[in-house]
Amino acid sequence: MAERPPAADPFEELRVGFTASVSHELRTPLARLLALLDSASLEDADTEALLEQARQEVEAMAELVDDVLFLSELETGRAVVALTATPAAPVVREVLDALAERASRAGVTLSSELDETADVPLRPRMLRVVLENLSENALRYAGDGVAFSITVKRSGGGVVITAADTGVGVAEKDLPRLFERFYRADRARASRGTGLGLAIVKHIVTSAGGQVEASSPPGKGLEIRISLPG
């Protein structure tokens, strides 16, 4: 009787796929960097401008590597759920204050509606990462001149965090894949984001026993809703 081939290891397949995706994502900024360096060697080149563009490409690669390493750390199950609850309101204000200047340059209006008594089962650093990625997603993809808000409220014994913008929104076909690694909706493909921000958000939230979902009614922007246990 012929022996059956060993069953494929789903985790190995995941690792191989992830490695291939990272390699693909790094090739684009590397190719642009090489093209910029080649252009800088031309006689009439604007060396200063080309070097600035090259610096931006290096920063994009560094951001990607940081996000990959952070996501790998999350997947070990370390340091996600706090032993004690973290008040959400001060962290929301901290994140929005840090983004205020950048949002002003983009014409994006930031606001919040916060329940000061709402605590979440996340370490402060993890909550900050979630909020930063939600905010960065709006600033990068929603478009200029929009409004972005973060709401924190108690609901059914838990806490709901809602991040909503009034931007271009996301096509219905893209919503189910929004939290996949490296997935970008059509409009977002031209952005310099790593494509890992919302994947990181989902991993943190689900590791803490919560749920995250996205909705985008036509003409009403994107809303991401996070439900966490109390």
Q: What is the pLDDT of residues 135-194, one digit of tens each?
A: 988 888 877 889 999 999 999 889 999 999 998 888 888 888 888 866 655 444 444 545
Please give the average per-residue pLDDT across 1-25, as a whole number: 50
pLDDT for the residue numbered 25: 60
For the record, the structure tokens of 47 come out as: 């060396």
Average pLDDT over residues 99-110: 91
The verdict on 55 and 136 lying in the same domain is: no
Same domain, 116 and 69: no
114 and 165 co-located in one domain: yes
- At position 46, the amino acid (one-letter code) is D
Q: Could you list the residue range(s) of the whole structural domain that residue 154 is in?
A: 81-228
The closest alpha carbon to 71, from 182, 220, 149, 166, belongs to 182
Q: List pLDDT tens digits, range 28-58.
A: 677 778 888 888 888 888 888 888 888 877 7
Strand intervals (E) in the chain: 81-87, 109-114, 119-122, 147-155, 158-165, 211-215, 223-228
Strand partners, 155: 158
Q: What is the pLDDT at residue 225?
A: 96
Share of the chain above pLDDT 70, in %: 71
Q: What sign results for the dihedral spanned by CA atoms 182, 186, 187, 190?
A: positive
- Considering the domain architecture, whether residues 62 and 98 belong to the same structural domain is answered as no
Residue 1 inside a domain? The answer is no
If asked whether residues 122 and 207 sit together in one domain, one would say: yes
Average pLDDT of the segment spanning 95-112 = 92
Residue 184, Ramachandran bin (φ over 0: left; ψ between -120 and 50: alpha; else beta): beta
